[in-house]
Amino acid sequence: EHSRDVFNHYRSDAAAAMEAGNDIRTSLVCYGLDASHGYERTHIHSLMALSQLLSLYIQSPPTFIRDRNLLAPLGDFPQQPEPAPVLEIPFNPSEDGKDSRSP
């Protein structure tokens, strides 16, 4: 079992390498953990699942045909679709302090 998350504001050395013009495909993976520091409560099942995921990934064929080439131009480099905008609902409490959005 695995979980997917997107870290919009996380940056790695791979981003700088791509901005420098390198034609590389990158990804970040992490094991599941509890707490602010991974070593505090790391589950052995998370480490096993991560190793299985990486083992299968490196054995799989490329997703895009262009990735079969060692080098390819950045112009046709596939991009992830932009996420849909987040709908923000204004919070206007009434004079009695209750949420005006609730019935």
**DSSP class per residue in 6-43:** --TT---HHHHHHHTT-----------EESSSTTTEE-
Three-class DSSP category at 68? helix
Q: Model pTM?
A: 0.47
- pLDDT tens digits for range 68-91: 777 777 677 777 677 778 778 777
pLDDT > 80? residue 57:
yes
Q: Considering only residues 33 and 102, tell me which one the structure prediction assigns the higher pLDDT.
A: 33
